Each structure stands twice: as structure tokens, then as C-alpha cells.
Amino acid sequence: MRTSAVLKCVVLAFACLFWACFGEGTFPAAWGDAVAVERDVVPSDEDVSGKAVEKEATSVGVVIDAAFGKDTSPILSNSPNGESEDGGGVADKAVTETPLEGENTGKVGMVVASSAASEQSSDVEGKASGAAGDKQAVVAVSASEGSNNGEEPTFGDTESPPVKDSLPSFNRTMYNVNDKIYYYGLKPAYKGYNFIIPEKARISVRNFFTNLKMPVRFFNCLFQAKFANAGIEMSRFLVNSTIGLAGFFDPAKSQFNMEMHDADFGQTLAKYKVSSGTYINWPIIGPSTVRDTVGYVGDLALNPTTWVSFFFLTPIESIGRGAYETVNDVSIDKGATYESITVGAVDPYVALQDAYVQNRNKKIKE
């Protein structure tokens, strides 16, 4: 009995040894370790998933380090202590090359690790592309900001007047003289005149003198080959001289929509390419140029009031007539226009010169 029992034990021991060496199970980690290996023991799901997660994490770490240019050889190699040699890797412990239990389980683990590595690699590339895009955006914004050279855009700035000022001392002196005449003579006169004469009456007086000056506008429209405008001026004169009671009213505009066309001999000379010449500020007359001064003389020759003053009025009466017309015109709107240009300007002389030149250029282009 004892012999048969011993034989059974020996046979059982050899069978266990044979099974351990050539069976489907895994052999203990080291021959010298006293590790009890039970028969028919299969790794649990937790062990398999743990190894898969560990391999996945290591694969992700390798991809990230490779993306940022780090050396991945310490992670892929096994050190004697099971740790990375540089100590600065993503995983604290190196990955053992022990395969997962079973062929199918190993394939699943490899697929999971490969998918995770691909996704992480895509994320890394996406972040890198996003960073590059942000950097390009910043560069573009900086370039657009630098295109203005740090200067704020300006709007409504007027260019320097395209006219020569060859007599600045004389012109500034005459400007000061005219400015004193306006504030100490003309302004008090039209203020008192406004107090006595209502505005409608003053407008009627202006209409009367404007109607008398029709030949100036009519002939200059002809000189400039604006024949339609010349016809309108003649029609206005006929209507206002009759229905408008000698021109004191303007039914040609209010009833027949015929606008006045302000043409003078200075504009005519400009149409024929005559240079403006230097800027001149005449006493009493005010801002002008050489061309407009010649044009002013031509307009005087075409103005019927000049002929009336020359043939029918004394010099004092002629001066009185001109002074009254000037006070009446300034009382309606010209006084406010002059002050709006000069008051508050850094250099009133330059402001008045610039306003005059721009107004003349506008009328020439019309």
C-alpha cells in the first residue's frame, strides 16, 4: 500500500512537472522563486485590462515624446530595475514584454494600444497645427497694425492751397486792415441795419442788385459755351423784371424752378487755362488772385451799375451805393461766413486764403 501510494505521488509530481513545462499555462517568473502555480488558472479580466492599459499608456507616451523631439529609446528598452534610465519619461516603469494571455487577447490589446496612440498622435498634431495657426494669426494682426506706422487715420484734412503767395507781407498787412474794417466799421453798421430793416426787405434789395447784374452772368455763360445756362439767365431776367417787380422778388426760382448760374470773368479765364497767378489780398475788396483781379475788372465793365454810377452818379453817390450794397449783403449771410472761417483758426490769414481758393476751384469745376 505504501509503495503504491509513493508511486502515485511520484507519477503525480512528474505529471505536474510535465504540465508546467509543456502545458498551456505559464511558468513561474523565475525558476528559483517559490511560486505556487495552480492548475487550470487563467488570468482574470482585470489583469488583462491592466496590462492593456499599461501598454496603451506607454504607447501614448512614446508618441508624445516623439512629437516633441524627445529620445524614446529609454522607454522602449528594459532597464535592470524596470525603470527608465533618464527618470523623466512618461511612465514610471518600463514596459515588460510579457505577452498577454491568449492570442485573441493579445490582438485586442494591440488594437486598443494602436487606436489610442493614433488618436493621441492626431491630438498632438492638431494642437501643433492650432498653435501654428495662432502664431500666423498673431503675425497677420501685427502686420496689419504696423501698416499704418502707428499713425491714426485722418479724415477731412484739407491740402495746402495750390496757389502761390508771393507777397506774404503785403497780404497779411491787408488782411489785418480788412479785419479791422470789418469788426470796427462794417459789423456795427450791419448790426444797426439789421435792427432797423427786416430780413425780407434786405433779401428783396439783394434780389434787385442780383437781377441788375444779369449781363455779367449771361455773357460769361456764353464765353464758357454754356448756352443753356445763358438762356436760363435771360429768362430769369425777363421773369423777375416783370412779374418780380423790377427784380425785388424771384418768381423765376420760386415759381418756375430756374436756378441762377453764378458765372464771372475769372471763371471764364480759368476755363481757357489761364494760370491763377499769385495770391493777392486787396484792401476792402478782399482775397483774390492775379487772374481773378483781371476778371473782377472785366465784370465791372459788364455790370450795368458801373455804367449808372459813371454816367449818372457823383463819385460820392457811387461810393455810397457800393457801401450800401456791401452792408446789405453782409447783413444777410456773409458776415457769419467770414467769422466762421477766421474765428478759432490757428492762422486766420491762411484759413481765409484756403477757403477762398477752395471756393473758387469749386465754381470753376461746376
Q: Is residue 327, in this structure, part of any structural domain at all?
A: yes
Same domain, 310 and 217: yes
C-alpha cell at 254: 420760386
Kindly state whether residues 207 and 348 are assigned to the same domain. Answer: yes
What are phi and psi for residue 280, nearest 5 degrees?
A: -135, 130
Q: Are residues 199 and 61 in the same domain?
A: no
37 with 51, same domain: the answer is no
The residue with greater pLDDT, 179 or 56, is 179
Do 37 and 57 belong to one domain? no
Query: Do 21 and 47 fall within a single domain?
Result: no
At 11, the pLDDT band (50, 70, 90 cuts) reads low
55 and 29 assigned to the same domain: no
Together in a domain, 193 and 276: yes
Grid cell digits, residue 264: 464771372
What is the number of structural domains in the chain? Answer: 3
Q: Is residue 217 part of a domain?
A: yes
Q: Is residue 234 located within the same domain as residue 275?
A: yes
Range of the domain at 2: 1-41
pLDDT: is 310 or 25 the higher one?
Answer: 310
What is the mean pLDDT of the segment spanning 287-297?
97
Q: Are residues 111 and 245 in the same domain?
A: no
User: Would you say 274 and 291 are in contact if contact means Cβ atoms under 8 Å apart?
Assistant: yes
In a domain, residue 117? The reply is yes
SS3 content of the chain, % helix, strand, coil (to 5): 65, 5, 30
Looking at residue 335, what is its pLDDT?
80
Ranges assigned E (strand) in the chain: 279-282, 286-289
DSSP state of 20: H
| SS3 call for 35 | coil
Tell me whether residue 160 is in a domain.
no
Together in a domain, 57 and 1: no
Q: Is residue 109 part of a domain?
A: yes
Q: Enter the DSSP assignment of 158.
A: P
Query: Average of pLDDT values for 149-168?
Result: 57
Q: Which one, of 123, 8, 149, lies nearest residue 60 by Cα?
A: 123
Question: Do 120 and 192 fall into the same domain?
Answer: no
